[in-house]
Amino acid sequence: MFAIFKRAPAVKAEPAGIAPGGDDQVRDSKALATGLAKDANSLGLEVAQLRGTLEDTSTAAQHQADSLHQLTAQLHEIVQAQALIHQLTGDGLNSVAQARDSVAHVGREVSGVVDTLQSVAGAATEITRIALQTRLVAFNASVEAKRAGVAGAGFSVVADAVKDLATQVESSSKAIMSTVSQLDQRIQNLADQLTEKSNGVHANQTMTFFNSLAGVEKGVQRINQAADESRSSSELIQALIDNMDEEMGSTRQALGVALKRSESVLGVSERLMEVIATCGVKTADTPYVELASQVAAQISNALESALARGRISMADLFDEHYRAIDGTQPQQHQTRFNALTDELFPAIQEPALALLPDVVFCIAADRNGYISTHNKVYCNKQRPGDVSWNTANSRWRRVFNDRTGLASARNTRPFLLQTYRRDMGGGNFVLLKEAAAPITVQGRHWGGLRLAYRFAHSKG
């Protein structure tokens, strides 16, 4: 911020006697002061541009740091996902191994079932043989009972029953043998497929199954290996990003130091301009300072007159309850003195725009930087969603509490002169100088009159 506070100009007094060459000394002093004023003006221009560059670079560095932090967070999520993949693929390999073991175990169990069925078949064969023999014995017994006549009648009945039972047992045993034979073939085929002991078509099917298992296992192993390699790469990238973040932190610190040193340079220019002001030398800024003071006085008189006529109360005039207007971006606010300033200020502010060349705006701000009524060209209704256009063209009902805005609004000395870049929206900036003068109402500081104009070196 390039600021000076005007002191009372030195009162010229004619000494009793002027030493020879006194007029030349006065002229030389004025010429020196004028030259210093020009140099201070150029210094202000350079420092304002330097500060703008530093602020832009600092903002870009902050955006880069934010992006790095987001990237770090995303990489952290990637590493976690890779670790999960590693865990899941490990579980998958275990599952494949268990599947292979389980299949082999099932094959062994099925083989046991085959053996059991074969035993059953053997038993059924033996039962059939015994039933056949029993039937033959029962037949012979029946023949002998019939030969015995009446004495063998009861035995004949038993022999016939045994023969019928033996016939049924033989039939059941043959059915069991047939079923067991069918089951034996089917289960044997299944056992062959599960135990890699089959031949021909079944052998091909068995090998296909186990080859598929082996292929799955290899695929899972490759996934696991790729996840490990990716995780290693991500960790390396993470280390590089951490290093970049440290470097960005150092850069931001260096930019902060540079900004503070630019303040020191501005301090030198401020003191230089104060010295020039005490000499009573008029500079290119003097007309703008005088105009700002005149308009500030007119605003003060208009507000005091409104109070005297009862148009507004002191409480409403100094209202600081800024009520946000919904749907505005940048944010706009309302206060209880909006209607009054809309009525009084344009008649005072608008004519001032044409009194001097290169005036950009002439506005009254309250002590918090709130602009109730801007110049008409900037009092446009906002366009929904068009922030860039709103920033440049709808500047009323807004609080400008940046360093320049607050310095002008809260200044209580006769005048304040600043050099700064004005944000016009969409990344566009304009280099301006601003003369400010305090606005008081019944001895109470209400705010400041801000008169901005294009920098002398940027004219044309």
DSSP state of 10: P
- Which residues have a Cβ under 8 Å from the Cβ of 127 and sit 6 or more positions away? 169, 170, 173
Chain region(s) in the chain for CATH 1.10.287.950: 76-235
Which two tokens mark 53? 């560059």
Stronger pLDDT, 173 or 365, i.e. the higher one? 365
- Separation between Cα atoms, residue 342 and residue 334, nearest integer Å: 12
Query: What percent of the chain is modeled with pLDDT above 70?
Result: 52
- Separation between Cα atoms, residue 257 and residue 32, nearest integer Å: 33
Chain region(s) in the chain for CATH 3.30.450.20: 284-458
Which two tokens mark 375? 């110049």
Q: Collapse the DSSP code of 360 into the 3-class scheme (helix H, G, I; strand E, B; otherwise coil) and give the result.
A: strand
- Which residues have a Cβ under 8 Å from the Cβ of 101 and sit 6 or more positions away? none
- Separation between Cα atoms, residue 438 and residue 416, nearest integer Å: 9
399-422 average pLDDT score: 89
Q: What is the pLDDT of residues 316-354, one digit of tens each?
A: 999 999 999 999 999 999 999 999 999 999 999 999 999
**What is the length of the chain?**
460
Lowest mean pLDDT among 16-30, 215-229, 264-278, 282-296: 16-30
Dihedral (Cα; 443, 445, 447, 452), 10-degree rounding: 70
Stronger pLDDT, 74 or 112, i.e. the higher one? 112
Lowest mean pLDDT among 211-220, 312-321, 365-374, 440-449: 211-220
Among 107-111, 277-281, 391-395, 454-458, the range of highest mean pLDDT = 391-395
Q: How many CB atoms within 10 Å of residue 133?
A: 11
Among 72-81, 289-298, 419-428, the range of highest mean pLDDT = 289-298
Q: Collapse the DSSP code of 197 into the 3-class scheme (helix H, G, I; strand E, B; otherwise coil) and give the result.
A: coil
- Are 396 and 410 in contact by the 8 Å Cβ rule? The answer is no
Residue 17 has what pLDDT? Answer: 42
385: left (phi over 0), alpha (psi -120 to 50) or beta: left
Q: How many CB atoms within 10 Å of residue 159?
A: 21
What phi, psi does 147 have (nearest 5°)? -65, -30
| CA dist list (Å): 279 to 9, 23, 37, 39 | 6, 15, 11, 16
- Rg from Cα positions in the chain: 52
Residue 176 has what pLDDT? Answer: 72
Is the pTM of the predicted complex or chain greater than 0.75? no
Residue type, 92: G
Q: What is the pLDDT of residues 213-268, one digit of tens each?
A: 676 667 667 776 766 776 676 676 767 677 777 776 777 777 777 767 776 776 56
Residue 194 has what pLDDT? Answer: 61
Dihedral (Cα; 303, 307, 311, 316), 10-degree rounding: 80
Residue 6 has what pLDDT? Answer: 40
Which two tokens mark 73? 């967070």
Nearest to 248, CA basis, from 78, 57, 56, 74? 57
Q: Can you spell out the DSSP letters for 251-280?
A: HHHHHHHHHHHHHHHHHHHHHHHHHHHHTT
Q: What is the pLDDT of residues 49-104, one digit of tens each?
A: 666 666 667 666 666 667 666 666 766 667 676 676 767 667 766 766 776 677 66
442-451 average pLDDT score: 97
Given pLDDT bands bounded at 50, 70 and 90, which one contains residue 379? Answer: very high
The structural architecture, per CATH, of the domain 284-458 is 2-Layer Sandwich (3.30)
| Element housing 437 (H / E) | strand 428-441
Residue 372 has what pLDDT? Answer: 98
Among 33-47, 125-139, 189-203, the range of highest mean pLDDT = 125-139
Instruction: List beta partners, residue 454.
Output: 432
The structural architecture, per CATH, of the domain 76-235 is Orthogonal Bundle (1.10)
Residue 136 has what pLDDT? Answer: 73
Q: What is the pLDDT of residues 207-216, one digit of tens each?
A: 666 666 676 6
Q: Collapse the DSSP code of 5 into the 3-class scheme (helix H, G, I; strand E, B; otherwise coil) and give the result.
A: strand
Strands of 261-329 (E only): list them.
Answer: 323-324
Stronger pLDDT, 314 or 225, i.e. the higher one? 314
- Separation between Cα atoms, residue 400 and residue 380, nearest integer Å: 17
CA 430 centroid distance within chain = 30
Residue 133 has what pLDDT? Answer: 72
